[in-house]
Amino acid sequence: MSTIADLPARDLAAAIQTKAVSPVEAVEAALARIEERRELNAFMAICADRARAEARAAEAAVMSGAPLGPLHGIPFSVKDLTNTEGVATTQGCALFADSVPAADAVAVARARAAGAILIGKTTTPEFGHKPFTEGPFFGRTLNPWSHDHTCGGSSGGAAVAIAAGMGPLALGTDGGGSIRIPAACCGIVGLKATLGVIPNLQAPDLFGANSFVGPMARDVSGTQLMFDVLKGPDRRDPYGQSEALPRREHGKGERPRVGFLLRCGNILDPEVEASVVTAMKQAEALGMIVEPIELDLVSMEPHFLLLLRSLLLARLGPHAARSPEKLDPTLLATMEAGHTYGAVDLHEAQFARTNCFLQIQDILSRFDIIASPTLSAPPLPVDLDPLGRIEIARRDAGTIRGAWYPYTFPFNLTGHPAISLPCGLTRDGLPIGLQLVGRWFEDSYLIEVASELEASLQFRAHAKEARPAGSDLAGRVENGAR
């Protein structure tokens, strides 16, 4: 039984289409939940008046019998790194507090054209530079499962908004795991599609792109619903030229071969290990063929750091020189490290990126899917230094990128689609994520396999502090939409 605010996206879409719920009710439910859970600090800006006006127009369209888009009347949020027409896009940074784009990013425009209603911009660390969602401009975003543990980053506000019922869909970005990390920390689903499948024209270097924009939702079905709206070519994107993606159906008689990457050169938390091993046993029970594989991903950390640090320095160096006091000290430290690299280092990083791609391509010539933990450990304590070293299983595991999320950032470098879905909880009630990776352009197949596994895992937990369900409205929705 659920209130409107707690409905998954596909259920809400069906309820709106059948007039069991109005777009006005859907938007008001999301805005009310945002107000109720203000302590989570998930939003940089809230578009209440605009959202209400669009909801009234959407309701009029429903009542008139006009054709409705697949996301008609559904409230959604956009991470504050992605351009939104008429709504400030600050990059999580005080330096850009007054920056208001003249046009929507491609993904935002497609979501709105499908009927979705923007309710606000969600929090992000400055320019998405770290995996904790906090910064001097807006403070800290809290994980609804535990305020003592990080919600992840850099799409932390987006993940928190979904987990706490502040809209069933969100648009995040992922430059090294920034959709999948907070999805795992907050018990939701997040997809980084194949490079170019969802155009992202804000990257300053489109040819060297490793930053993605993508959907986040409460379940795989909602992720699929939004992905189908966002995908498609754009002639301005060098990787987004294909008019049609190859369609590979996941048939009932098919037995997907899954390469199970339990460790990738890292230390793994025992509870995470137990949870993903159980998930793979469930995959086998479904008829999937699961075999262990080996792949060293931790060794990619220095190459990823070189690309990240030098990019931030090139992009933000003049701003940092002008007003360093307005920037996060961790961002300044990241940029400062960029001064240590030369042109040869940059090319060597690209060589390593190519080699990693070829290794993964070889694995995916033998397997349909790669499965792994999303993170090496559950959500980390919120007061850790995001640039420091961490402990996992009471051992010094190394620096945070190579130790906590070595499973995510390499697939940004190689462009393969990757999805994170929840697969269990720790003894302390913190979410654990499972990552599935697919072949280039087989995003829909990846989502279908994830959906089958999700149904089998039956992850139904909700964040501890989420508002209890209400029976009256739930009866209305279930009777009208199903």
User: Taking the C-alpha atoms of 146, 149, 150 and 151 in order, what is their torsion angle to the nearest 10 degrees?
Assistant: -20
Active site residue 154: yes
Q: SS3 of 85, please? A: coil
421: exposed, middle or buried (C-beta count within 10 Å: 0-12, 13-18, 19+)?
A: buried
**DSSP state letters, 124-187:** -SGGG-SSS-EETTTEEPPPTT-TTB---SSSHHHHHHHHTTS-SEEEEEESSSTTHHHHHHHT
Active site residue 77: no
**Exposure of 214 in the CB half-sphere (CA atoms within 13 A):** 31
Active site residue 192: no
| Alpha helices (H) in 242-299, listed in sequence order | 270-285
Q: Which of 2, 77, 154, 444 is catalytic?
A: 154
Rounded CA separation 437/395 (Å): 28
Give the dihedral sign, CA 47/164/182/131: positive
Contact between residue 339 and residue 313 where contact means Cβ atoms under 8 Å apart: yes
Q: Which two tokens stand for residue 327?
A: 């920037």
Rounded CA separation 305/322 (Å): 24
Q: Which two tokens stand for residue 349?
A: 């990083």
Q: Which of 2, 22, 77, 79 is catalytic?
A: 79
Q: Which of 2, 77, 155, 178 is catalytic?
A: 178
User: What residues have CB less than 8 Å from 321, skipping those under 6 apart?
Assistant: none
Helical (H) or strand (E) element with 398: strand 395-399
Nearest to 336 by CA among 119, 48, 129, 94: 129
Q: Which two tokens stand for residue 59?
A: 């309701």
- Give me the active site residues, please: 79, 154, 178
